[in-house]
Structure 1
Amino acid sequence: MTRSSHAPPPRSHRGALSNPDGRFEPVRHEAEDDGWGTLEPIASDDADRDGWGPPPSPATRVEVDTSRSILARNDSPDIPFDRSINLYRGCEHGCVYCYARPTHAYLGLSPGLDFETRLFMKPDAAALLDATLRKPGYRPAPIAIGTNTDPYQPVERRFGLMRQVLEVLSAFHHPVTITTKSAMVERDTDILADLAARRLAAVGLSITTLDRDVARRLEPRASPPEARLRAIRTLRAAGVPVSVMAAPMIPGLNDHELERILDAAADAGAVQADYILVRLPREVEGLVREWLEAHVPDRARRVMSRIAAMRDGAASSARFHDRMRGSGPEAALLGQRFTVAATRLGLTRRGYALDTRQFAPPPRPGDQLALF
């Protein structure tokens, strides 16, 4: 398949093809050939049959995030939680469509390659959470983890922040929900099973496609589809309630897989399902256009046209309630397909109820024990 001459060449194991300036930067940079062929495809041993080799992939850099608070609050009427934790800023999974990419502009970085290579980690996350949960006015409600960036992205293997946070939540008998694209969640099966036995944990696995090749290009450092299905089986065998998110559905690219994804997840043991229509806010639209032109140039215009048809002519929507589902007849049809398939598979139950009544701060070393 011939790539579009307008698209930058893909980089090995990275989702974004470029590193555009963030929207708050005072200048804009554009690549221009200097006459020495610096923008031409690079010849390499990995070159495909067109002779197009991938440019070097930038290395991941991790810096310390010195945030002094750990809980993010929201009052959005279409989101089923009011508090969340994000252990990392940026995400090495590199999902090109990620709606969180524009947040990197607030750091003076690009939502493109910077988002997946310039990461920030919160080493004090567990200690900050412990202090927050001990505050006299704190009232428990499920904490959502993985709502912005993935807590089980590859660098978690080095830092283990997620397990530290889960240990704090377990000690406080505090409920938690987790969303991830990573089979690394299996690492914490023991503590998640213990939490689930007390009705304190539920996990959601996001599966975008069952096509390994599409997943490798679309979500280059996330776990392959079969590994995510294995994680569902592992967690369910341990008694952890697991849901599947068929997300995001990208019309013209993976929406035809909706029923197959639900079938595979139900077979693996998922007890609940949901879906989200892709939305491409701010800089993400340009990044996805580049990706489409490079990877599926024959479908690029059709995919963007169908997204617009389901987003009132735009690439994204921030309106509550329809931002997750879209609008118009095509969006309605996608919703109907989901409902029929989820009902057939018994995946329509809503909101696994977690218990907040058990919450109790554990004694700290040196605390005087209560007499009664």
Structure 2
Amino acid sequence: MQSTLSISALFIGTILASCSAKSEKKQEATAPTLPVIQLIQQDATLDRDYASNLEAVQNVEVRARVAGFLDKILVDEGKPVHKGQLLFQLNPTEFQVEVDRAQSNLQSATAQAESAEVEMGRVKLLVDKNVISPSELKLARSKMATARAGINAAKSALAKARFHVSLTSIRAPFDGVINRIPFKQGSLIEEGALLTSISDLRQMYAYFNVSEKEYLSFIKKRLDPDKTTVREVDLLLADDTAYPLKGKIETTETEFEDNSGTIAFRATFPNPKRLLRHGSTGKIRVSTDVDDAVLVPQKAVFEVQDKNFVYVVDAQNKVSSRSFVPRSRVDQFYIVQSGLKPGDRIVFEGIQSLKDGMSIVPKPLPAKSLQALYAAAR
């Protein structure tokens, strides 16, 4: 009886072992073959984009300093001008009349001064002969001083009148490009009216705001270049194309904005072809070199409740989800801050159908593949 039971147990064990082997083979046969990457450390470049406003290094409003009719417009909108070039001519007739009047007043004052000088000489002679009292000489000298003061006043009035005439000729304050001209020839221009504006487009300022945390990070990196080096900045135009010339961050504002908690940086870009214009927009891209970064491809990452996960492959080729904290994102990759380390194997593609505990057939991708992918994304 015992012999029969032993044979039965052996037979059942054989069957179970056979079924288990068949089950494992079946699982292996149904396990998906997926590409797997082993994480490594490598140098990377971290890019951050900031909305930017562009301003000309000089952008000045040209206004009329006197009133008058606009006789001539000697420039056109959008055209380059040079310092001192005549732009607008107001009718100077009214101011020329003032000049003529001031010249006449100066001649009259000069004649009065000459007469007062002759009179003072005559009075002095009479005083010296004791014909009249010394008080008469004092009075003559006072008249002479008044006459000379009249000459000075007339000269000032003449200079002012001539200055007003000069203001009817409106010239460029510096080399630049003319902007919109709102008036037409023959218009009556009031004092202070905006005639146009001039932009010096040889260089452009790009202003962009960063948070206090980013500001501190930027300043510290500049002070400690052995760890991380902040490169020259790039400019992305409004159509997302790259501006061909690099700019340099030169200065920052001194105060953070209360409402946003940000501070403005200013980068300067050369603009030899005048492609950039005053008032245009773009994005400033600040690139930072990061040494020994652990990169995770974006396509290997999935999100659950605002957390980032990947599927890690263990030694038995079973997958399990693991969360990680990204430091930042570079193109199609995340730079890992914590949660993953060099040597971890993660599923590169096909994560949509995976679940914890599933077995896969890993198809290893060489480390250089990830490097090539990163280079291609750059």
**Normalising to structure 2: TM-score of the pair?**
0.18
TM-score, reference length from structure 1: 0.18
The structure whose RCO (Cα within 8 Å, separation 6+) is larger is: 2
Query: Which structure: larger Rg?
Result: 2
